[in-house]
A and B are shown apart, each in its own frame.
Chain A
Amino acid sequence: MSKKNDDAKRSARERMQVERERQRAADKRKRALIVGGSVVAVLAVAATIGVIVGTNKSNSSNTSWSSVSDKPLKLPTGMTSTVVPYGSNPNAPVLTVYEDFRCPICDQVEGKLGATMQQMADAGQIRIDYHIASFLDKNLGGNGSKYAANAAACAQDAGKFKAFHDVLYANQPDETNDKFGKNSYLLELAGKVDGLRSPTFDACVNDLTYAPWVKASQEDFNNAKVAGQKVTGTPTIALNDQKVQYVANNQVMSPDAFKAQLEGIIAQTPKS
């Protein structure tokens, strides 16, 4: 009798235990669900805030630019596409130079190899097509790449793109400094090129007349390919659609080596 009673008590206790165990498991599941749900909710809210803030920020910093850059495309004088040609012989092998005016490596390349390229173009050995990109504004914040590109296009109208291009690189500010984003500074630099400043030029710079070209040129850059490979950065140099090296031993190569390379490629390509 007493043993039976004990058994009943024990089984009741066990049942209670099982019940409590189940309760606890259910609680735990519920808690895990609440915690998991809050985690996902917090992250979703954070991501949404990010998209909203990011979209607002990038729109507001570009209002004045986007209002002019969506006007119909007009090419600067002497251009048949978005690239700016330079050289004495329009039928010479084409050296395409992809550059951004704020790109520090472009500055290094221009500083060391610019003169060589210019000599070859002046001598009619090559024609340089400057493909001006302006994506660094997005990378670094600011407007310097775009405004400098616009001013350079204005200089093309005056027939002085190349000279102004060289002045811009010679006075390139630190990568994170948006000095080129001020038209007053660009006009000051334009003063260093003889005969460039004129009321027409100044108005062209201040009105961002070639903003649609700057935008189109960047879009072309986004889709640009050399030998079937996407161009992923500036500077990129190609001769007759063949990629040209400008780095040797972790620095910009010597002008002689660079010139020899270009002449090698020209010698390979059949005359047309």
Chain B
Amino acid sequence: MNAAIAARPAGGSTVRRALPWIGLVVRLGLAAVWTFAGWEKATNPAQAAQAVRAFDVLPESLVEPVGYALPYLELGLAALLIIGLGTRIVAGISALLLLVFIAGISQAWARGLAIDCGCFGGGGPIAPDQTKYLQEILRDIGFLAMAGWLLFFPRTRFSADAWLAIEDDDTH
């Protein structure tokens, strides 16, 4: 009886101690996703713009600014995730961006547009039998889960957030 009671807090604190480590892995994983996605697009801005155009949602005047800004925004998110600054806010923005992507792919799918999402570079109209909407959406949902984890457990090891909050943690 006593042993059982004593074991519970010990187990709980193990989990609590593991959380920031899991958080670190998730944070760096999401950073890798954004780095890769941003880099592929940043090296070819015109193609990124064409990928945005192919979704056929935005008016033409917004297509190029959005197409050009998006890769750098993704790289910015990656950089913030790597240093671990504002993890919760960055996770929130990441989740929002991923939801927009999922919505974009879904509407293209529903409308029967034949496009490649251009998620990691590439993009634009392709042959109807080469669309991979389901895989693209499932993959984005996986990334969304990572962002969601960080939204709920933003405390991670080796992060600027932890460093900035050092006094705070001492007194607790």
By a beta-carbon cutoff of 8 Å, the part of chain A in contact with chain B is 24, 27-28, 31, 35-36, 38-40, 42-43, 45-51, 53-55, 57-58, 61, 105, 135-136, 138-141, 230, 232-234, 247, 250-251
B73–A141 CB distance below 8 A = no
Q: How far is the CA of A47 from the CA of B75 in the complex (A)?
A: 9
- Chain B residues in 8 Å Cβ range of A48: 69
Decide if B129 touches A35 in the complex (CB within 8 Å).
no
Which residues of B approach A to under 8 Å, CB–CB?
42, 44-51, 54, 56, 64-65, 67-73, 75-77, 79-80, 85-86, 89-90, 93, 113-115, 123-129, 161, 164-165, 168, 171
B129 touches A233 (CB 8 A): no
* Closest-CB distance, A139 to chain B (whole angstroms): 4
B73 touching A232 by the CB < 8 A rule? no
Q: Is the CB of A35 within 8 A of B73?
A: no
Contact A233-B114, Cβ < 8 Å, known A50-B71, A53-B68, A55-B64: yes
What 9 A-B pairs come out closest when comparing CB atoms? A233-B125, A54-B68, A50-B72, A46-B76, A54-B45, A39-B86, A47-B69, A46-B72, A50-B69
CB contacts between A and B, total, < 8 Å: 114
Minimum Cβ distance to chain B for residue A64 (Å): 16
Q: What residues of chain B lie closer than 8 Å to A45, measured between beta carbons? A: 76
Expressed in whole angstroms, the Cα–Cα distance for A250 and B114 within the complex equals: 14
**Which residues of chain A have C-beta atoms less than 8 A from B73's C-beta?**
43, 46-47, 50
Say yes or no: A234-B125 contact (C-beta < 8 A), given A35-B164, A42-B79, A46-B75.
Answer: yes
Write the nearest CB–CB distance from B168 to chain A, whole angstroms.
7
Q: Identify which of B77, B113, B125, B165 contacts A31 (C-beta below 8 A).
A: B165
Name A62's closest neighbour in chain B (CB-CB). Answer: B46
Known A-B contacts A24-B171, A247-B129; the reply to A51 vs B56 at CB < 8 A is no
Given contacts A42-B79, A57-B46, A140-B47, contact A232 B70 (CB under 8 A): no
What's the Cα separation between A110 and B14 when bound, in Å? 65
Contact B124 A54 (CB under 8 A): no
* A250 touches which of B45, B50, B54, B129 (Cβ 8 Å): B129
| A139–B123 CB distance below 8 A | yes
Q: A141 to B47, Cβ gap below 8 A?
A: yes
Q: Are B86 and A47 in contact (CB under 8 A)?
A: no
Contacts of A136 in B (CB 8 A): 124
Tell whether, in the assembled complex, residue B80 and residue A24 are in contact, meaning their CB atoms are under 8 Å apart.
no
Chain A nearest CB from B117 CB (Å) reads 13
CA distance A230 to B85 in the complex (A): 44
B108 to A, closest residue via Cβ? A232
B15 to chain A, nearest CB (A): 25
Which residues of B have CB within 8 Å of A57? Answer: 45-46
With a CB–CB cut-off of 8 A, which chain A residues contact B168? 24, 27-28
Q: Find A247's partner among B65, B77, B89, B127 (CB 8 Å cutoff).
A: B127
Tell me how far the C-beta of B154 lies from the nearest C-beta in chain A, rounded to whole angstroms.
11
On chain A, the residues within 8 Å of B51 by CB distance are 139
A135 touches B50 (CB 8 A): yes
Q: Which residue of B lies closest to A31 (CB)?
A: B164
Chain A residues contacting B124 (CB-CB under 8 Å) are 135-136, 139, 233
Asked if A51 contacts B86 (CB within 8 A), the reply is no
